Structure 1
Amino acid sequence: MPRFHISLLFILILSCSGKPVSNSTEEIVSSDKEVVCFIYHRFGDSRYPSTNTPVKDFEAHLAYLKKNNFQLLTFSEAIEYLQSDKPARKTAVITIDDAYKTFYERGLPLLKKYSIPATLFINTKTVGGGDYMNWAQLEDAIKHKVEIGNHTHSHDFFLNQSAATRYKTFKDEIELSQTIISEKLNTKPIVFSYPYGEFDTKMKDIVKEVGFIAAAAQNSGVMYSGDDLFECPRFPMSESYSAKDKFIEKASMKALRVKKRSPNDYIMPKGNQPLLTLTFDGEGLRLNQLQCFVQGGECALDVVDKQKVVVTLQAAKPMTKKRRTLYTITVPDKQGIWHWYSHLWINTAVD
């Protein structure tokens, strides 16, 4: 597997994965339509390389998408497209989290130049403060094909709160943010982004209950028809991964169509060495090239059933130092295009 694929696996990844249910196994519906979605934070701000995208790289991304005839949609338009009976097209979405000033100053002018829409997820508590856009700038962005999404009020680590307070606080913040955005911008968001990409199954249910049509995580992967729309993946951009050749590889990625997974949770269990079982559609894939990776460690892969393509993934050693760790499985198809699926484990004992 080429080095750029391996390095790419160290980005936070979440694959969209089926209808939201509360039991331990999740059923996923297959279809042909896919959407590649990208997440950005800062632009031309080298103080924060892990969330910064050089301006020249961002322009190269937009120029590539335009030149190669991608259908370019907002996040909510992409959800509508996936759920519609429209024919499959090469489709991409640009999203930006947190609404830093550098988006308004350096990112938005390029979106305007290439006439590309985008979705901006904002946390309302920080609007107008420090490095963040103010309400006038947000209002101006809306005039230029920018959709506003909800990113909670405080952008807190909600999983650090006890279950007794977490869900009420989470819901209250979402609703407060909705009210503020409606009052300040005269628009009501219909899409949501989890702060830090962290959530549990009940938080996901709350997002749906509040009335959003979909939610995005801060992790890479490819959206496809039939996915769980409340844990959709995005390819994160940073200085380490935003070079044009790496961007093109991301834009060409395909989803690994996982049909079942167990467990259906993201919180790191006791022992810090969880076993993940996946069943996926192996049609057209070169299964002899199947690989697995554990972020920051070694992965043990076992093919339990070759006919149904049931595999297990497990870290070779306990994962105790990182808050977020990925299990990722990748495989090329017969045309040489890589497909992947990643599952995120969150260790709430690590700050």
Structure 2
Amino acid sequence: MKKNRDVIPLRELAERLAAGKLNSSAVSITFDDGYACNDEVAAPLLEEAGLPATIFIPTHLIEAGQEAWWDRLAAILIDHPAQSIVLELEEDRSVVDLGEKSDGDWHWQPGQGPSTPRQEAFHATWAKLQVLPPDAQRSAVDRLASQSDERGPRASHRLMTAERVRGVQSDLIELGGHSLTHTALSHRSRDEQEIEIRESRRELQAMSGTVPKTFAYPYGDYDANSVELAREAGFMCACTTDHGGIRKNADAFALPRIAVGNWDGRQLGARLSSV
């Protein structure tokens, strides 16, 4: 990236886009969700290379000090000793068929579909829970955990602490908003979206001491209300997970991105060159 691209802060990318001066080699690096490895692994590598990046922070998840619900769900379903488990939602109760454990259950390549029965069970259950309000998600996962031998937060799946959110910032590393609870915005009312977006900016400023200028829609899930509310909240731009490069006429509040897999430099270059 350092040798072959013009790596710039996301806020600068938004400025260049607005001014019609975004060149074809410009790239911004972003990380979603505030995992501890962003601070402990990625940030030092970026600092060493002199490359800027933005880390998007869901403030309530950071403050909770727990694994994200989707990580808890994966651990519960894939490690569950029995071949089925009961999923209880507010108006629905169903038995999730997990099948037998397999050596491949934890080997899931980025960007690939599920390849084992337990991966399929996780994917189907995740899809059910992903659209629910945060409290319903948490309750459903808690009920699943009560049937398992969940051992608490894993070191490998930690989110940053509020202290590290403050500490990771530098001349190169910036923070961006990522809602309060990492909810699927298009499934929330306009009023709920407004709170998630507007208050995430205020809370992240209080947590970090700096005003976030950029935003990313959780799960890449957004609608017309999300776009309008992100603009009204005072952000300069907002990122989706829609795949693609940024064209000159792109909406700064619906910026596409390229989700990076477990690629080497050659593969990354090929993917960037194809958009």
Give TM-score, length-normalised by structure 2. Answer: 0.62
Matched, 1:84 2:19: yes
3-state SS, counterpart of residue 66 of structure 1? coil
Write the distance in 2 (CA, Å) between the matches of 1:213 and 1:103.
Answer: 23
1:199 aligned partner: 222
- The counterpart of 1:219, out of the listed 224, 230, 242, is 242
Write the distance in 2 (CA, Å) between the matches of 1:119 and 1:183.
Answer: 18
1:104 aligned partner: 39
Confirm or deny: 8 A CA contact 1:214 1:230 kept in the other structure. yes
Write the distance in 2 (CA, Å) between the matches of 1:87 and 1:181.
Answer: 28
Matched, 1:142 2:169: yes
Matched, 1:230 2:165: no
- Structure 1 residue 182: deviation in Å? 1.5
Confirm or deny: 8 A CA contact 1:78 1:93 kept in the other structure. yes
- Structure 1 residue 190: deviation in Å? 1.7
Write the distance in 1 (CA, Å) between the matches of 2:24 and 2:246.
Answer: 13
Aligned CA-pair RMSD:
1.8
158 and 86 in structure 1: CA distance in 2 versus 1, 3 angstrom threshold: closer
5+ unaligned residues in a row in structure 2: which ranges?
A: 67-157
Query: Partner letter of residue 183 of structure 1?
Result: A
153 and 249 in structure 1: CA distance in 2 versus 1, 3 angstrom threshold: same
Write the distance in 2 (CA, Å) between the matches of 1:125 and 1:155.
Answer: 8
Write the distance in 1 (CA, Å) between the matches of 2:170 and 2:265.
Answer: 29
Write the distance in 2 (CA, Å) between the matches of 1:87 and 1:214.
Answer: 14
Query: Partner letter of residue 8 of structure 2?
Result: L
3-state SS, counterpart of residue 29 of structure 2? strand
Confirm or deny: 8 A CA contact 2:17 2:252 kept in the other structure. no
Equivalent positions of 1:173-188 (< 5 A) are 173-188=196-211
Structure with higher helix content: 2
2:2 aligned partner: 66
Alignment size in residue pairs: 183
Query: Partner letter of residue 244 of structure 2?
Result: G
Bigger Cα displacement from structure 2, 216-225 vs 85-94: 85-94
Write the distance in 2 (CA, Å) between the matches of 1:237 and 1:195.
Answer: 17
Query: Partner letter of residue 188 of structure 1?
Result: V
Give TM-score, length-normalised by structure 1. Answer: 0.49
Confirm or deny: 8 A CA contact 1:222 1:253 kept in the other structure. no
176 and 83 in structure 1: CA distance in 2 versus 1, 3 angstrom threshold: closer
Confirm or deny: 8 A CA contact 1:112 1:144 kept in the other structure. no
- Structure 1 residue 243: deviation in Å? 3.2
108 and 203 in structure 1: CA distance in 2 versus 1, 3 angstrom threshold: same
3-state SS, counterpart of residue 42 of structure 2? helix
2:274 aligned partner: 253
Q: Which has the higher contact order (CA 8 A, sep 6+)?
A: 1
Structure with higher strand content: 1
Write the distance in 2 (CA, Å) between the matches of 1:144 and 1:87.
Answer: 22
